[in-house]
Structures are given as structure tokens and as C-alpha cells.
Amino acid sequence: MRRITAALGAAAMLSAAAVTAASAGAATTAARHNARHNTRTTYLDPHARTADRVDDLLGRMTLEEKIGQMDQIVDEKLRAPSNPSDGNCSGSNADPLQQACLQKVLISDRTGSILAGGTDNPTDNTGKGWADMYNAVQHYAIDHSRLHIPIIFGVDAVHGFGHPYQATLFPQSIGMGATWDTTLAHEAGAATRQQLVATGGNWDFAPVQDLARDNRWGRYYETWAEEPMLSGAMGAANIAGMQGSAGHPQVAATVKHFAGYSQSINGHDRGEEQLPIRYLQDTFLPSYAAGIDAGAATVMVNSGSINGVPATASHFLLTTELRQRLGFKGVVISDYGDVPALQSAYHVSADLADAVAKAVNAGVDMAMEPDNPSGWDAALLEDVHNGSVSVARIDQSVRRILALKFELGLFDHPYVDPSQADAAVTGNKPLARQAADESVTLLRNQNDVLPLSKDASKLVVTGPNADSMTNQLGGWSVSWQGAFGGGQACCAGPADQIPPGTTVLDGIKAAVSPSTQVVYTQDKSQAVSETSNADAAIVAVGETPYAEGLGDNPSPALTPDQQSLISALEATGKPVIVVVIAGRPLGLGPAEQANGLLMAYLPGTEGGAGVADVLFGTVNPSGKLPVTWPTDAPLQQSGFNAGGASTLGDEPKFFDQLPGTNSGWGSGYNPLYPFGFGLSYTTFKVSGLSASSSVSRHGSGTATFTVANTGARDGIDVVPVYVHQPTETAGIVVPPQRLVGFARVDVSAGQSKTVHVSFPASSLALTPADIDGTEVPQVMAGKYQVQVEDMSADFVIG
Ligand code: BGC
């Protein structure tokens, strides 16, 4: 749990640049300069091998210096309203960097990493302001530390680098998941890298590889999908783009939150997770594993407890699963404050020293501590002295951390060029629009009401999300809870820091012909009376921003006001198009009957243009739900909720749920819209499925089929490839279908394309044995079936 501090208030400023100048001038002695440029010092030699540089540096470090490398401290601890003489800093993010605070955290406490988390923006919250701040902190660490070790600087760039307020932001991951476009995920990762490389964030706490299986959870929108294959494919591509060249990443990506973080028993963030090892291994770990296999440099630990053990203290999770079974070799960081939480929240440690020992011995390399560097130092030192943590274990972690710093090039080119930063954070707008275009998912199109004509004579635009950049960005945008703090009392941000971009209203106005009258109003009766003589009403509804536990919602639904507005518009008899801008499927109420229904997710700064592109047919929609949209209809039909007006979803609901013995009574897979659903303005016919008839356990199968565009418009079809197992002979219940691959096929009207989708047999692995199975998953021999739409093809795994 992060702290909640207001981000307001001006203070006497010592600018980042001033700190740089002062500190560099006072402390960069000729001797230090010589040491840094003495290429006979192996660790300072850019041409030496990373392993040799690490060995050399490690050999020169004291135990205290090693311990400091394993700590990450929030940048607020480098700040204070005025420079305290004792380095006792208690600044907020609005305070300037102070020399005494830098000295205390970076030099006296030898801290190896700084975090600028959700609310920790510099006063000058521009690309340049970030670059200046980063350079100032980095200069201080390098110039003043005995061995000139750079810090690694962590930020949360979860849909682009969302903090500088003019930044271009992509759709949140749930919208990116709806594109099913791994090339796009790669490009968005690369664009985020450009933003970070220019501003100094060399460690990105993204992507989230958790699965969206419970829409009550406030972090649902940070995930790609509800199931592991799509999530893994999108995450792997994103990581490759974000890190740049393998082996020498420009930015370190983070697979988080390892593992099973989304699975709290009641939809609340950071709670109790009861997760059978079979479910963990067969359903959740493959999503994280795909990111690890793509070369992710770091992993962040789940904040919750699993089966009664805090993940941060689980040797089984962080060493057996992560290192030994998944083969991860990089740096493991705890989540925010989770090491001290072993004492303060979980009460599995009597004191901080024991908490630190438990985390480090479980496999944590670095603690996102976040604000007590002296406490960390003392605790880990005590652990070494009393024998509860070995120096060998510390060396192992410090090696990983130093290797990452070397590979990122931080010893060789540690600073960024602030003059490039603003352009870098504001670039990539066409890519953000493409992402929005591809994500928008058409759920209902009664009588082909869409696309609307650009020459309509009158359109009414209304609803709380029609002209709200803040709402379409969601959390982790400018600030933790969203731009303007999401309007939440806890976390208000500067009101004037709303990123530029296009809202739905902007997009509509830009799309229509000059003769079209666009009436925008937030007044319900005016909206209704204007609609009565309009061609159509477009009503944008959904959610306001949130992040983490503040977004947990026991009953996610359109608000009563939104539902009443939609009902009133529908009563006019005119076409009503509902655009949902939200981080998750919501109970829709009357929106289920709207003539047109679009899910836009949280579409980013260019989201309004993306919505308009689909509304007016500039783009033929290709977005497909990466999650299931639950419904309460089965409950109503079965009499339990007869006549009730509730729009509560029948949740959790996901397509690969296991079959039971009472699926006729509402417990089967009966969503409002299934996983993978999304309409197009053209029609497709998929035919001619064939598949490899025999697949080895360590090999791959291939499905081949033809996608024909049978309509009048060019379009993109997304075709999921599932595997069905008629009988699982080892006695393990398997989902009726498991997603093993997909094709995203661009087909012109009247044309067809034949595609091949290959899938590794390992994606069908199951954990053997009875209810208590904890063994390594295995690919079971037997009969299987590839399923594509209504076709199937048998194959065996021998
Ligand atoms: C979140 C992480 C995030 C970290 C740093 C935590 O509260 O759980 O996902 O990376 O803060 O901001």
C-alpha cells in the first residue's frame, strides 16, 4: 500500500539543476574523475565483459555498500521544504530536492535505487523537468559515492510514461489486449522506451502480467486479458519493445506482480489469495513465464498472501517456481513497503530484521522499502551478524543488481539530455491513435445503425465521459489516481495538468462534415429534447479514474444517473449509441438495449479520435473482448433474481472456467458477451481447418485455416485457436477450451487468406496428481482437438 499524500503546495525551491551544479562543483575531485576514467579499473571499463565488471566491483565493495544496493527508496525522501542540517527529510513530491537529503539517502545510507512512483512528480512536471530531476539525483550518486555507483531509477510507465502531463498515452493494457495485436504491443513498448530513455526512467514497473478474472478488482484494467496465452503474447511483445536490444536493455521491464496477485478471494486489492498450486501453475504462471522468456530484466512480487503465506516471504514462489522452474535470472523487487509489511501487516515477523531476513532468504533481491533506508541497512546488517542471512546470499542479489546496471549502460552513459525530453514524451500520437482504433470493440449494432453518416444533419453528444480526458485516461496518468488525482479527496493533483488529446466530443466534431450540427450537453432534459429531432444520440458513460484498492468495486455497473440518461434517450425512439469508457465490463442496464454499443476501455490521449473513427466508419472495428462480459440474466431466469433491476455482474466469470455438475442452473459459461467477442462492419467466413495429426510433447502443433472476407468492406478478423481435450485421462478437470494461439488477419473485401497458427504442446501442460498436486506441470499424452469457430481437427500427443 502506498502512502497517500497531497501533491500540492509551493515551496522554496532549490532546483534540480542547482543541486547538480552545487554538488558536482563541490565534490567531483580530480581523484574521482581519474578513477572514473581509469580504464584499467575493470568495472569502469566499458569494453570489459559484464561478468568481469561485476566481479571487480563486488570485490571492492564493503558489506554496507552491498546492503545499500538492495534498497529502493522513494524520491520524496530526497526532498524537503528547506535543507535540513541533519538529513532528516520528510518532504512531499512538491518539495525541491535538497542536498542534505541526497547526501543522507544516497551516500550515508548508500541506497542503490530510487523510485518515483504514482504521485512523485517533480514540480516542473514536464519531460524536461523529469530529465533534470533524474540527472540531479544521478549526478549526486555518482559524484559523491565512494565507488561512483549509479542508481537505477524506477517509474510506473504502464501505458506510456504517464507522468509528464503533456505525454502521449496509449490505451491502458486492457484496451491493448482487445487489439490482439502483438506488433502494436511491441511498438507501444518501444515508444514507452523512447519516452523513458529521454527522461531518465531506466526501470519501468510494467507490464502487469496478472490476469483479469474478477472485475470487482481495482487493477483489472492494468492487465491484458483474462487468460494466460493472450496475456503472455501481449506482454512478451511489449517487453521486447520496451527493453530494446536483448542482453543490453535500454530500459528494464518488470513482470509484475509475481504471481497470482489478481486472485484475492473477494476482489479486493492486496488481500488474501487462496490459490491451489495446480491453478497457479497451469493458469497463472504461463502469463508471467512468457514475459520472463521474452527477457524481462526484473520481476516484482505480489503484495498479497497466497494460501496463508505472504508472497514476499515465499521461498517456494520466489525461488522454486521463479528461479528453478521458470529459469528467471534477473532482479526480484518487492512491491511498495512489502518487506516491512511482513512485520507490520502480516505479523509473521516480530521485528524488521526478521522481516528482511524472511524476504531476502525467500528470494527478494531489492526491497521497495520505500522510506527507511537506515532501517533497512541496520536490519540486514543485523541479519548477517546473527547468521540469519549469509553474505553469499547478499552477493548473489548484488551481482544481479550490478549486472543490470552495467547492462543498462548506467556506468558508461548515465545522464540524459533534457533538451530532447519534451519532444520524446509528446511524440507517437499516430501510434496512440492506431492503438485506440484497434482497441474499440463493437458489441451491438442493431439494424446496422453504425457506422453513422459523417453527413448526418444533427447529432447529440452527451454523458459524463463524452468530453473528459481525465476519465478516458484512468489511473496512472499524470498521477497515481489519474489526472487531477481522479478528483479523489485523498490524492488531488494540479487541476491544470490535464494531458492534451482528443475526447469523444473532439473526435466527433473533427469527423463530421461542416454542415452537421453537433449539440453537446450534460443536461439530461436538454439532451432528450435535442435528441427527439436529431439523427442519433451518442452517450459516453463509464467510470472515473482510480488505481489499486481505491478502484475495488463490489458491483461494477453504470451509475443510476447514467442508466437513467440512457433510458430517457432510448424513449425518444431515435438511435442511441452508447460508448462505454471504463476499465472493466460494467453492469449495463438499459445500455444492453441500445442500438449501438461500443466498449472503448480507457483509450488514452487519442481515444476520442479512435472512438470517432469507429463511429463514422473511418476504421472498421476489429477490437475483440480480451475478457468476459458478465451478466445477471441467468440468475433472473432461474428465479433467484426474478424481476430485480440489479445490474450486478455474475462474477467472477471467465471463458476457461471448469465445467461443473449444475451448468443448467446459471453456473455455466453464459456471459452477456463472451471472451473474444466483437463485431465488424464486414462479415468473415472461416473455413478449411486442418491440423497436425500428431504432436510430440516437446514440439508444436499447427492449425491451418482460411479466412474469407464475405462482406463489402475491408476488415481485420481475429480468429482464436482453441484446444479441446475430450477426456483428460490423468483425472484432471480441464476447461472445455484452452486458447493456444490466434491469427489477426487483414483481409480485403471479397478476398481470402490462408493462415497457419502454431502452438507449443507445452501450452497444454497440467500439474499431475490428486487435489494436493504440486509437481512440475507435464504435457499429458492423449487425444486432443483443435477448435476454430465451429470446426475441429483431431490430433494426438504421444
Ligand atoms: C504498486 C506497484 C507499483 C509500485 C510503485 C505499488 O503500490 O502495487 O504496481 O509499481 O506501487 O509505484
What is the whole-number distance in angstroms between the Cα of residue 795 and the centre of ligand 1? 44
Q: Which residues have C-beta atoms less than 6 Å from ligand 1?
A: 2, 117-118, 156, 205, 256, 303, 335-336, 548
User: For 3, left (φ over 0), alpha (ψ -120 to 50), or beta?
Assistant: beta
For atom 11 of ligand 1, the residue with the nearest CA is: 336
What is the whole-number distance in angstroms between the Cα of residue 687 and the centre of ligand 1? 46
Q: Is 523 helix (H, G, I), strand (E, B) or coil?
A: coil
d(CA 640, CA 649): 14
718, 720, 716: which is closest to 681 by C-alpha? 716
The DSSP result for 734-756, as a single string, is: --S-EEEEEEEEEE-TT-EEEEE
Q: From the alpha carbon of 480, which atom of ligand 1 is closest? A: 12
The DSSP result for 463-486, as a single string, is: STTTT-HHHHH-SSBSBTT-GGGG
pLDDT of residue 663: 62
Ligand 1, from 2, 172, 303: best to mutate by most atoms within 8 Å of Cβ? 2
For atom 5 of ligand 1, the residue with the nearest CA is: 117
For atom 8 of ligand 1, the residue with the nearest CA is: 335
pLDDT of residue 667: 63
For atom 12 of ligand 1, the residue with the nearest CA is: 117
pLDDT of residue 36: 53
Ligand 1, from 73, 205, 222, 331: best to mutate by most atoms within 8 Å of Cβ? 205
Asked if residue 538 lies in contact with residue 466, where contact means CB atoms within 8 angstroms, the answer is: yes
pTM of the model: 0.95
26-64 burial code (b ≥16 CB/10 A, e <16): eebeeebeeebeeeebbbbbeebebeebbbbbbeebeee
What is the whole-number distance in angstroms between the Cα of residue 117 and the centre of ligand 1? 7
What is the whole-number distance in angstroms between the Cα of residue 368 and the centre of ligand 1? 9
Q: Is 270 helix (H, G, I), strand (E, B) or coil?
A: coil
For atom 2 of ligand 1, the residue with the nearest CA is: 335
For atom 6 of ligand 1, the residue with the nearest CA is: 336
d(CA 639, CA 634): 9
d(CA 176, CA 85): 49
d(CA 566, CA 661): 39
Sheet strand arrangement including 305-306: 272-273, 305-306, 309-310
Pairing of strands 152-155, 113-116: parallel
Extract long-range pairs of 426-429: CB within 8 Å, 24+ residues apart. 426/127, 426/166, 426/167, 426/168, 427/168, 427/191, 427/194, 427/195, 428/160, 428/168, 428/191, 428/194, 428/195, 429/168, 429/605, 429/606
What is the whole-number distance in angstroms between the Cα of residue 494 and the centre of ligand 1? 21
Q: Which residues pair with 113 in a beta bridge?
A: 72, 152
Q: From the alpha carbon of 208, which atom of ligand 1 is closest? A: 9
What is the whole-number distance in angstroms between the Cα of residue 239 and the centre of ligand 1? 18
d(CA 304, CA 292): 21
The DSSP result for 167-212, as a single string, is: ---PPPHHHHHHHT-HHHHHHHHHHHHHHHHHHT--EE---B----
The DSSP result for 92-132, as a single string, is: -TTSPB-HHHHIIIIIIS---EEEE-TT---SS-SHHHHHH
User: What is the total residue count of the chain?
Assistant: 798
The 8-class DSSP code of residue 158 comes to B
Residue 684 has phi, psi (to 5 degrees) of -125, 150
Q: Is 599 helix (H, G, I), strand (E, B) or coil?
A: strand
Query: Could you report how far apart the first and last alpha carbons of the chain are, in Å?
Result: 48
Those residues of the chain that have pLDDT short of 50 are: 1-34, 634-635, 641-647
pLDDT, tens digit (0-9, with 9 covering 90-100), for 268-296: 999 899 999 999 999 999 999 999 999 99
Distances (CA, A) of 520 to 525, 542, 579, 594: 12, 17, 15, 19
Ligand 1, from 5, 368, 480: best to mutate by most atoms within 8 Å of Cβ? 368
Which of the residues are catalytic?
Answer: 335, 548
- All three cell numbers of 480: 497515481
The 8-class DSSP code of residue 17 comes to H
